[in-house]
Structure 1
Amino acid sequence: MDRPRVLIAAGLAVLLLAGVIIASLVFGSREQTAEPPPPTRTGPVALVPVPAPAAGSADCGTLLKNLPASLQSGSTVLAKAQLAEPAPPASAAWTDQRSDPVVLRCGLDKPAEYTATANTRAIDGVQWLPIDGEQSSTWYLVDRTVYVAVTVPATAGTGPLQDLSALIGKTLPRKS
């Protein structure tokens, strides 16, 4: 009688081992892995040139001289970044080195989308024309003496625009 018990015990051990192997194959492949953090961006921010006929104006000079060293984006602080050469005139960027930068360009032409019926939005008393893109929005300043564009990644929230609107309200005169 000992022999049947040994065979049963051996059979159960083999079944248990097979079950563990099968379970590890099935459930091990469903293991959840955390997404790796986005890569850290290094070096200066490269910007493509765009026509900016008033980039050399006194108003753009005043604005650029008063730009903050950082912008608030939710709980993240975006630091003013060095621009890659050749840098477009009257431009600036802020980044946290992980996401796309917030980019400001001063002295642009009037945006074609800015018509008599365009929907503008006021932020801290400054009028902006928002143009939504897939992964960012570009906000055109439309009530001051120069046109300014601020491109904000979708992940940045409204903090950068609020910071810049407060500065622009104090720095640039309204159109007469």
Structure 2
Amino acid sequence: MSSSETEGPDADRYSVEPEDTRRSPALIATAVALPVAMIVAVLAIAVFARQHPTREPLALGSVPQPQATGQACTTLLPALPSSLGDYTRADLARPAPPATVGWQLPDGGDPVVLRCGLDRPAEFVKSAALQVINGVNWFEVRDPASGITSGTWYVVDRGTYIAVTMPDKAGPTPLQDISNTVAKVLPARPIDPAPIPN
């Protein structure tokens, strides 16, 4: 075919695109796969973050703990479990109160807080009702009229007072697990309630 036969109005139909202007199948596949991979990565990060949410350190106020550095507290604190049922050990905001440990649910919320070395609670008198949990005597302080859905329990038979404040929804597991540790590492002592006020 002569050059004159290929020229004319239909000549463009037979022209071939230069090699560098055609789309490579590998380039197209990469262009499609890259956004898909990014979406999958974002979803994976979101799922991981939901399963492992970050908790803020617990900010706890100070209360009188005159025996916080005593033998009972220095023995008890390292022996406490890292988890109490679904509650896991929480970091405390600095400055943290002495002889204090907290546990929280994975997504945060109301914590379980243990403080060791406290003064005898004013409500703990000779007529106070005690509850024995796994060999440990506990005394509960709660104001039913306040509507607060948490209470504070005191260990009253180990020579120092140990308080555990926890939400009602935590159930019995925290006190049971803490009782097991207390009974294991601290010897029982006679209880010493205050006289009944006149």
Matched, 1:140 2:159: no
Which has the larger Rg?
2
Matched, 1:121 2:131: yes
Matched, 1:167 2:181: yes
Query: Which residue of the partner structure matches residue 98 of structure 2?
Result: 89
Deviation, 1:154, is 1.3
Deviation, 1:99, is 2.2
The CA distance in 2 between the partners of 1:64 and 1:174, in whole Å, is: 17
Q: 1:108 to 1:59 in 2, by over 3 A?
A: same
TM-score by length of structure 1 reads 0.73
Asked if the contact 2:114/2:163 (under 8 Å) is kept, the reply is: yes
Query: Which residue of the partner structure matches residue 13 of structure 1?
Result: none
TM-score by length of structure 2 reads 0.65
Counterpart secondary structure, 2:137: strand
The CA distance in 2 between the partners of 1:149 and 1:41, in whole Å, is: 27
Alignment of 1:59-78 (within 5 A): 59-72=72-85, 77-78=86-87
Counterpart secondary structure, 1:122: strand
Among the aligned pairs, what percent are the same residue?
A: 48
The CA distance in 2 between the partners of 1:148 and 1:89, in whole Å, is: 12
Deviation, 1:41, is 7.0
Counterpart secondary structure, 2:183: helix
More helix by share: 2
The CA distance in 2 between the partners of 1:86 and 1:116, in whole Å, is: 36
Q: How many pairs does the alignment contain?
A: 133
Query: Which residue of the partner structure matches residue 51 of structure 1?
Result: 64
Over 6 Å off, 4+ runs: none
Counterpart secondary structure, 1:101: strand
Could you tell me which runs of 5 or more consecutive residues in structure 1 were left unpaired when the two chains were aligned.
1-39
